[in-house]
């Protein structure tokens, strides 16, 4: 990726914009980025950890690989998720990760992160705040998602995908990449068959539409979620805005 | 609670023992503690947040109170959970919390926490590490718990309760307080009826026993969890040790 393109990504970063400005500028200048295709590994357990890394766009699945080859889910990282593993002193990733959708992540080496933290004592406080808030939002999201019956669960995750990753298009927001039942099953932690049934129901209700290339169109987020799920989701801070 | 009793709690604290020693000693000297009965509020949304607070023992349910009086779950705090809300600068709790079991929490005012952080710059790094790890473990726990079918879910949470809160007794580990189906339903996020069915099955299998006062005896954690659930749970760092 060209330096100019990386600097554009970095300027759009919700994470960097939450940090003290001078420190953020130094981190931005040293940032590197990588684009992942769906299924591609971001990292494998045991790989040296990036000092500080965040997901610019897309979804990344993080999991433990068991000795029999099965994957025990750890979490799904949403855009603006930050990995602080590389600052914790162990130096390697505890889990493996692959892209669930086209994804771009940005990282800064541990050396740079530590140097900038040394020059800007207020950086550590801001990283701490971000880490705590991120943990809170993940707990709220998982608690909410899994407390819902399956159909509402698929509604909620499609709505969040549309808000955070959808492109405004004719007739609604477009998830402009192939969205497989497998991807939805990983996020919802249910079987592919169950996701298939839920998706067919949502298609029949016309609250979502399939468009060319296994993509989805969400015509109206209000209709997809319904008033009560919409209200409580916005109130919990899980969906930043509904336009 | 007497100062001597508070100092005993503080000396046993996993959280404080993870901090730089001198800073931990200063925090310990300023600590205060409170005992909660089941159902009692620890805090209500909007209350001024404690600077730094952690759960010494017991379980606390944290939730959002909706305008119709219903409770939307946020999370269940397990022993050694730390609330950093009071350090984030907003000054009030975003959610309400009540004890699910007899519980004791310890807290330090924001003024003391900030004063000690000013004297010990390494404290912020240690708090950051603790917060990040706590977030990781919560995500692993929720991901694991909710990916299991109901019966295994109740097995897993009874096992964790036995490990973290059980007293060694004759014939196994004793959950030495009333454990209602309601409590288990909140942690497992399923209906009380479903918990009732799961508990009856576990009683019939004799992997748990009811003893006087609605308490539970867990004769053998290995038998409660079964070999594959036990192995993956220990491997994920969710259960610290099985004796």
Backbone angles phi, psi at A107, to 5 degrees: -145, 165
Cite the residue boundaries of each domain of chain B with CATH code 2.60.120.10.
3-144
Establish if B228 touches chain A: CB-CB under 8 angstroms.
Answer: no
Half-sphere exposure of A79 (CA within 13 A, CB side): 21
CATH of A148-235, one of 3.40.50.2300, 2.160.20.80, 3.40.50.10860, 1.10.10.10: 1.10.10.10
Percent of chain B with pLDDT over 90: 56
Instruction: Decide if pLDDT at B89 tops 70.
Output: no
**Which residues of chain B does A94 touch, with a Cβ-Cβ cutoff of 8 Å?**
136
Cross-chain Cβ contact A131/B127 below 8 Å: no
What's the residue count for chain A? 243
B34 CB within 8 Å of a chain A CB: no
- Three-state SS for B181? helix
CB-defined contacts A:B, below 8 A: 89
Q: Closest approach of chain B CAs to the CA of A150, in angstroms?
A: 12
* pLDDT at residue B139 tops 90: no
Contact residues for A133 (Cβ-Cβ < 8 A; gap 6+): B88
Q: Where in chain B is the domain with CATH 1.10.10.10?
A: 148-235
| pLDDT tens digits, one per residue of B171-210 | 999 999 999 999 999 998 888 999 999 999 999 999 999 9
Predicted local confidence at residue B12, as pLDDT: 82
Q: Give chain A's residues under pLDDT 70.
A: 1, 67, 89-90, 240-243
- Does any CB of chain A come closer than 8 Å to the CB of residue B133? yes
Calculate the CA A195 to chain-centre distance. 20
Q: What is the pLDDT of residue A240?
A: 65
- Interface pTM, i.e. ipTM: 0.72
Residue A215 pairs in a beta bridge with A211
- What is the mean pLDDT of the segment spanning B32-52? 92
Task: Return the CATH number of the domain spanning residue range B3-144.
Answer: 2.60.120.10
Q: For chain B, what is the total number of helices (H) and then of strands (E)?
A: 10, 12
Return the ∠ at Cα A196 (arms to A190 and A201), rounded to 5°. Answer: 115
Q: Per-residue pLDDT for B243 more than 70?
A: no
What was the pLDDT predicted at A90? Answer: 63
* Higher pLDDT, residue A52 or B73: A52
Q: Write out A13-73 in H/E/C secondary structure.
A: CHHHHCCCHHHHHHHHHCCEEEEECCCCEEECCCCECCCEEEEEECCEEEEEECCCCCEEE
Contact A63, A43 (CB under 8 A): no
């Amino acid at each position: 990726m060209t330096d100019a393109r990386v600097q554009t990504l970095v300027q759009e970063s919700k994470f960097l914009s939450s940090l003290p400005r001078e420190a953020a500028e130094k981190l931005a200048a040293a940032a590197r980025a990588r684009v992942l295709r769906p299924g591609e590994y971001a990292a494998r357990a045991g790989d040296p950890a990036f000092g500080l890394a965040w997901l610019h766009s897309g979804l990344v699945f993080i999991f433990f690989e068991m000795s029999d080859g099965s994957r025990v889910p750890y979490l799904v990282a949403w855009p603006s998720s930050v990995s602080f593993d590389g600052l914790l002193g162990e130096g390697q990733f505890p889990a493996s990760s692959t892209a669930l959708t086209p994804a771009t992540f940005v990282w800064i080496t541990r050396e740079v992160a530590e140097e900038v933290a040394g020059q800007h004592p207020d950086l550590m406080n801001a990283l701490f705040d971000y880490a705590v808030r991120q943990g809170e939002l993940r707990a709220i999201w998982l608690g909410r998602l899994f407390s819902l019956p399956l159909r509402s669960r698929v509604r909620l995750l499609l709505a969040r995908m549309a808000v955070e990753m959808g492109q405004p298009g004719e007739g609604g927001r477009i998830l402009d990449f192939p969205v497989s039942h497998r991807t939805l099953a990983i996020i919802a932690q249910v079987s592919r068959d169950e996701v298939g049934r839920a998706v067919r129901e949502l298609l029949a209700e016309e609250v979502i539409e399939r468009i060319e290339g296994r993509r989805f169109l969400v015509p109206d987020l209000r209709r997809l979620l319904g008033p009560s799920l919409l209200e409580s989701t916005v109130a919990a801070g899980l969906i930043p805005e509904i336009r």
